[in-house]
Amino acid sequence: MYLLDTNIISYWMRGDRQVIDLIKQHAPSDLFLSTITLAEILYGIEKSPGKKKERRLKIKQISSLLGVYAFDEAAAVEYALIRAQLEREGRVISERDTQIASIAMANKLVIVSHNVKEFGRIGKLKVEDWAISGF
């Protein structure tokens, strides 16, 4: 099962053929987004100058197709472990990416992201990039 990161949802919203084709290869019941990603997308819509109504409708359609995972107590435990480890190694990633990763770890999900550089710092986290050619 897969947790789609913010950039993958953004590519989907923009109609990226490669990303959409890969999404279509999976059952909707195997695809999820996090409340963190949803917040990032909604924030992006609010700060953008135009097409707000169209973009709000698009994310509503997408989120209605996918399961949504919240940052819950299990994710909080994973967050603490991940953040402490990354700080010890001097390889900290963004707060939101750490939260998204912790949701994936707590729920045994593979993260789908074009940001493999940051997510790749988290040892046991499984990451796939559906936005690169040839995937």
Which CATH number goes with the domain that contains 77?
3.40.50.1010
Global confidence as pTM: 0.94
In a domain, 133, yes or no: no
Residue pair 32/70 in contact (Cβ under 8 Å)? The answer is no
In a domain, 21, yes or no: yes
Residue pair 131/7 in contact (Cβ under 8 Å)? The answer is yes
Return d(Cα 25, Cα 21) in angstroms, integer. 7
pLDDT at position 118: 94
Token pair of 69, please? 């995972």
Token pair of 31, please? 């695809």
Return d(Cα 92, Cα 118) in angstroms, integer. 8
In a domain, 118, yes or no: yes
Distances, alpha carbon 57 to alpha carbons 45, 51, 60, in Å: 11, 10, 5
Beta-ladder partners of 32: 3, 67
Q: Is 110 exposed, middle or buried (0-12, 13-18, 19+ CB in 10 A)?
A: middle
Return d(Cα 61, Cα 114) in angstroms, integer. 22
pLDDT averaged over every residue in the chain = 96
Q: What is the mean pLDDT of residues 17-28?
A: 96
In a domain, 135, yes or no: no
> For residue range 42-100, what is the model confidence (pLDDT) as tens digits?
999 999 988 999 999 999 999 999 999 999 999 999 999 999 999 999 999 999 999 99
Is residue 104 scored above 70 in pLDDT?
yes
The domain tally of the chain equals 1
In a domain, 65, yes or no: yes
In a domain, 59, yes or no: yes
In a domain, 61, yes or no: yes
Token pair of 107, please? 């729920």
**Domain interval for residue 33:** 2-128
